[in-house]
């Protein structure tokens, strides 16, 4: 294994080394672990050409109807992604206001962000409510923890082939997750086949099923049910936990920086005029976007990016043989003083007000190159909508009980949660 640290290595790995690589041969998997476990985004370790095909299909759920672009996909009366986000956030705000009215002041904001993003991803990607999807979320959370524990054994040669406790539990949980997902998929396909519905739905799952049907029997790439389930698991994870963590860390930073909190609030009030944000408003929230980028720099969703050399490559004077695993240390790059300056460990959104090209190449919260995250647009829109609505309704201050202790378990999490004090603002 090699750790990519230099700019040249990072850029070549991200843009060149993997792009033209052939698909790797299948790997024996007695423990039931796939190349893309549901504890990590699928594109992270998948073969490049496969990823590009999957990315093209998954991106169907982003630019048009799903993201809330007026005039696209709205004629059938189905809510857009942005409408779902606004609706779910409004419900959470009402709930929080009721709790404040009873005298509650302190909130562990991570719990609320986790429930909110779970509700949003359930509705937007799979058309189900939180009660239907929470079984899958619970299983995936446990599965992520087990996968993180299992990776500690990978330093022992051949350990992943052993029927260990972790491997058995992982396999059992994977089967249960796939069973629940298959029930949702089967329900969609049955409705179309018996004529109860004319489409598979206007969400990610519906679009993936529609793509599979269109290309079935043709010469093009055809999605299969297993691939669809893999994509569903990827979006459950990426659209739930990583989004919740982005929101949690950003609220912590704003609660710790009253001046920036007021700047964002003033901008939101000016742009949104007291209402909920529209898709047209989001591009105008420049201060909020700077804050989100700085939050992603300090606490990126993934601390490292794994890559695999599918053919012999040369990075500068370094020869990388086929099959060697390469890790790009995102967290270390995001905290490199030579790149970001002496205030690298401080919260300073101004560094993104006039972003330099050098910083841009080293800013990779969603990866970079042809294998970047397919959910980038979704995540950023979600963060902008939720944060703009919350900051217009509440002021945040850090609770005395908060203890800053980030830990890395595949993602960067607050070990003891993030406790903030909320105060409703006058309408």
Please choose, from the candidates 31, 109, 196, the residue with its C-alpha nearest in 3D space to the C-alpha of residue 396: 109
The answer to whether 308 touches 328, Cβ cutoff 8 Å, is no
**What contacts 403, CB < 8 A, 6 or more positions away?**
415, 416
Cα 327 to Cα 22, 184, 305, 308, 367, distances in angstroms: 19, 36, 6, 9, 12
pLDDT of res. 369: 67
pLDDT of res. 152: 61
pLDDT of res. 223: 56
**What contacts 76, CB < 8 A, 6 or more positions away?**
202
pLDDT of res. 22: 32
- 337 domain-assigned: yes
- 81 domain-assigned: yes
pLDDT of res. 347: 97
User: How many beta carbons lie within 10 A of that of residue 87, not counting itself?
Assistant: 15
pLDDT of res. 40: 37
Burial 178-212 (b: 16+ CB within 10 A, else e): bebbeebbeebeeebeeeeeeebbbbbbbbbbbbb
Instruction: List the structure tokens of 55.
Output: 């990315």
CATH number for 15:
1.10.630.10
pLDDT of res. 35: 34
In whole angstroms, give the CA distance from residue 5 to residue 330: 9
pLDDT of res. 69: 42
- 415 domain-assigned: no
Averaged in consecutive runs of 10 residues, what is the pLDDT profile of the chain (427 residues)? Answer: 55 50 33 35 40 48 44 49 92 96 96 92 70 74 75 61 77 87 82 77 77 63 66 74 94 98 98 92 95 96 81 78 83 90 95 71 79 78 97 97 90 94 90
- 192 domain-assigned: yes
In whole angstroms, give the CA distance from residue 122 to residue 109: 20
The pTM assigned to this predicted structure is 0.79
pLDDT of res. 344: 95
Q: How many domains does the chain have?
A: 1
Q: What does the chain come to in residues?
A: 427
- 400 domain-assigned: no
pLDDT of res. 391: 98
- 404 domain-assigned: no
**What contacts 172, CB < 8 A, 6 or more positions away?**
none
* 155 marked ligand binding residue: no
Question: Which residues constitute the domain of residue 303?
Answer: 2-23+35-393
- 356 domain-assigned: yes
In whole angstroms, give the CA distance from residue 374 to residue 56: 9
pLDDT of res. 376: 82
CA atoms within 13 Å, Cβ hemisphere of 189: 13
What phi-psi label fits residue 323: left (phi over 0), alpha (psi between -120 and 50 degrees) or beta?
left
- 417 domain-assigned: no
């Amino acid at each position: 294994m090699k750790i990519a640290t230099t700019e040249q290595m990072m850029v070549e790995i991200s843009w060149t080394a993997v792009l033209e690589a052939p698909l790797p041969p299948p790997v024996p998997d007695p423990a039931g672990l796939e190349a893309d476990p549901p504890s990590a985004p699928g594109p992270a370790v998948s073969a490049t050409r496969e990823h590009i095909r999957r990315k093209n299909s998954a991106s169907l759920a982003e630019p048009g109807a799903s993201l809330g672009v007026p005039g696209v996909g709205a004629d059938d009366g189905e809510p857009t992604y942005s409408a779902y986000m606004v609706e779910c956030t409004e419900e959470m705000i009402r709930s929080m206001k009721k709790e404040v009215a009873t005298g509650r002041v302190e909130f562990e904001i991570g719990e609320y962000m986790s429930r909110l993003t779970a509700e949003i991803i359930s509705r937007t990607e799979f058309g189900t409510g939180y009660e239907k999807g929470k079984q899958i979320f619970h299983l995936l959370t446990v599965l992520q923890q087990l996968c993180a524990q299992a990776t500690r054994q990978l330093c022992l040669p051949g350990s992943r082939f052993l029927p260990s406790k972790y491997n058995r539990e992982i396999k059992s949980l994977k089967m249960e997750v796939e069973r629940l997902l298959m029930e949702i998929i089967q329900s969609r396909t049955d409705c179309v086949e018996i004529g109860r519905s004319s489409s598979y739905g206007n969400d990610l799952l519906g679009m993936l099923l529609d793509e599979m049907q269109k290309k079935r029997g043709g010469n093009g790439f055809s999605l299969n049910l297993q691939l669809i389930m893999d994509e569903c698991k990827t979006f459950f994870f990426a659209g739930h936990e990583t989004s919740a963590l982005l929101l949690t860390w950003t609220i912590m930073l704003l609660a710790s920086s009253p001046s920036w909190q007021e700047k964002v609030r003033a901008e939101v009030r000016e742009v949104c005029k007291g209402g909920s944000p529209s898709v047209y408003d989001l591009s105008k929230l420049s201060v909020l976007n700077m804050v989100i980028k700085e939050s992603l720099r300090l606490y990126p969703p993934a601390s490292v990016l794994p890559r695999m050399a599918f053919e012999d490559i040369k990075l500068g004077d370094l020869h990388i043989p086929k099959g060697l695993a390469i890790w790009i240390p995102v967290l270390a790059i995001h905290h490199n003083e030579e790149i970001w300056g002496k205030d690298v460990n401080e919260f300073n959104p101004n560094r993104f007000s006039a972003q330099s090209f050098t910083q841009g190449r080293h800013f990779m919260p969603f990866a970079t190159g042809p294998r970047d995250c397919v959910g980038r647009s979704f995540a950023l829109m979600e963060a902008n909508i939720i944060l703009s609505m919350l900051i217009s309704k509440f002021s945040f201050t850090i609770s005395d009980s908060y203890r800053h202790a980030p830990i890395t378990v595949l993602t960067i999490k607050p070990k003891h949660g993030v406790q903030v004090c909320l105060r409703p603002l006058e309408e």
